[in-house]
A and B are shown apart, each in its own frame.
Chain A
Amino acid sequence: MITKDTPVEEILQKYDVLEYFLENGVSPFSCAGAFPQSLGKLLEIKKVKDPDAFINGLNKLIEEKSQ
């Protein structure tokens, strides 16, 4: 279960969800590597209007992919 506190690096290592990030306007990987802090921090910096919806959508996608 991904939360605001989950490190972005961990998400990218464990799940194939890069496209979800990009489709929703958030780049989790750059020339500095995987964003080195939590998902919540990245969503705050990217000014995502509804971080909870982003995280819910991400968890839903991961669940769908695992089935």
Chain B
Amino acid sequence: MSKLIDDNYKLFIDGKWVDGKEGKTYKEYNPANGELLATCVDAGKEDVDMAVNAAWKAFETWKDVSPQERAKMLLKIADLIDENAEKLAMIETLDNGKPIRETSAIDVPLSSDHFRYFASAVRTEEGQAVMIDKDTMSIILREPIGVVGQIVPWNFPLLMAAWKLAPALAAGDCVVFKPSSETSLSVLELAKLMSDVLPPGVVNIITGKGSTAGNYMLEHEGFRKLAFTGSTEVGYTVAEAAAKKLIPATLELGGKSANIYFEDAPWEKAIEGLQIGILFNQGQVCCAGSRVFIQDTIYDKFLADAINAFEKVKVGLPWEKDTQMGSQINETQLKKILAYIEIGKKEGAKVATGGYRIMDNGLDKGYFIKPTILVDVDNKMRVAQEEIFGPVVCFIRFKDEDEVIKMANDSEYGLGGAVWTKDINRAFRVARAVETGRMWVNNYNNLPAHAPFGGYKKSGIGRETHKVILDHYTQMKNIFISLTENKTGLY
């Protein structure tokens, strides 16, 4: 299977594949079986310099490429992703550990669609003009911001690349992009596809560790904007780096989202939504429905059905088609999840199902966890307040709307969430009352382009997956015109 993947990858700078100047590398492994997948470059300062310089050189001409031409290129990239969908899906599965059914049906097709969405969105940008008075016109144009630095996490490598690259390219910016050192391969393969479409230097891929290449990017004075998806802790450092340079940053950060079930929830769909909320991508989702609030009138039946559903989930080798849940990203993440389960137990929570590492049926070389439900959880407990980032859900009872809204909002985060009910008025009341950037009603973890996604509170700044992000990748030019030859008379 790993023949899909090169043994060694270089950096993609100025349209060429180049070695790192410092000669440092790191290795990527398949988290499901420990197999070595590839060796990548741990980029140094000089490499980042080269990438930024190449991006600025490319920007001289890229900024004037018409929206029609940029859209055409984005559409071509989308087509190439689709033509290589099977390969990209398998690479993502091998590199990340997520099931092939998810990479085939979600990660890859949503990525190509993202390029198509922004190819369309940029053609609708029209600027504005207004007559301030009969002799004065104000014209507002959006102009590309320049060279942007983008850093993404390991949980959705290809899709996060699409979320970042498509709007930046559509807006007329040039990019230096860094994938996670855990999962760089699908992005490097995407770069191969893009190299046939984009002029040299428009997109440059820097691989490497956060502590080296990532920090060099944050320190670099050559960026006009930073964009980051990752944890809130690292988000602070990105925001600080941007502030020191007096440049903007968009941040999509952590979450501890409330998934709220009222007694009139559509039952079968609700139980499925619970699983989509916390088991999708092994729970390694920033907006995972990790706090589940259940009305006390249905709590016992809901718990029984949830346990039944969780125990039927097939955890297995991610490249097998019937696998529903794959491997966590690495041993550290596995240990972190198991440690949080222990913390929950010490706090008084009980494990209703799961709670352990799976080592049998050929899974002993990977990082697999049984889908886990914690009960007797109080919303103040650490397991209900901190991001576990695994297939571990906390069940919390509530009596009425007021109580559940208070508990849902008792969190430093505000990224996702859902309300399950057939009462449209209640759905709207709760969706409006919960302080979060995205509230799903009777669904969960749907993340297509065309709807804005981003956080309230410590879950971030800015919105992606919607044309509004084009505002973040452009700056406003106002042309203010006097249409009269008459003097003002002041001098």
Contacts and interface: CB of A to CB of B under 8 A. Distances in A.
Given A42-B233, A45-B236, A27 B211 contact: no
A31 B154 CA distance: 6
Nearest to A44: B236
B343 A23 contact: yes
A37 B339 contact: no
Given A18-B332, A22-B343, A29-B333, A35 B233 contact: yes
B382 A25 contact: yes
B444 interface: no
B389 A30 contact: yes
Nearest to B343: A22
Contacts of A12: 332
Q: Looking at chain B, what size class is its interface with the partner chain?
A: 20 to 34
Contacts of B228: 32
Interface string A14-56: 0000110011010101111111110001100110000000000
Contact of A36 (B155, B214, B335, B340): B214
A12 B155 CA distance: 20
B154 A7 contact: no
Interface in B249-264: 254
B209 interface: yes
A54 to B, nearest CB: 15
Interface string B188-230: 0000000000000000000001110011000000000000111
A18 B230 contact: no
B211 A30 contact: no
A37 B210 CA distance: 8
B231 interface: yes
A42 B155 CA distance: 22
A36 B284 CA distance: 19
A41 B237 CA distance: 9
A7 to B, nearest CB: 6
Given A22-B336, A25-B382, A37 B237 contact: yes
A35 B209 CA distance: 10
A19 B210 contact: no
Contacts of B387: 27, 30
B181 interface: yes
Contact of B230 (A27, A31, A37, A45): A31
Interface string B277-298: 0000000101000000000000
Nearest to A23: B343
B209 A36 contact: yes
Given A12-B332, A22-B339, A32 B386 contact: no
Contacts of B339: 18-19, 22-23
Contacts of A33: 153-154, 180-182, 209-210
Contact of B234 (A18, A19, A25, A36): A36
B211 A32 contact: no
A32 B333 contact: no
Contacts of A32: 151, 153, 180, 210, 228, 230-231, 233-234
Interface of A: 7, 9, 12, 18-19, 22-23, 25, 27, 29-37, 41-42, 45-46
What 8 pairs between A and B have smallest CB-CB spacing? Answer: A32-B230, A36-B210, A30-B231, A31-B153, A32-B234, A36-B211, A9-B211, A22-B339
Interface of B: 151, 153-155, 180-182, 209-211, 214-215, 228-231, 233-234, 236-237, 254, 284, 286, 332-333, 335-336, 339-340, 343, 382, 386-387, 389
19 contacts: A9-B210, A22-B340, A25-B382, A27-B231, A27-B336, A27-B387, A29-B332, A30-B153, A30-B230, A30-B233, A30-B234, A31-B153, A31-B155, A31-B180, A31-B286, A32-B230, A32-B233, A32-B234, A46-B233
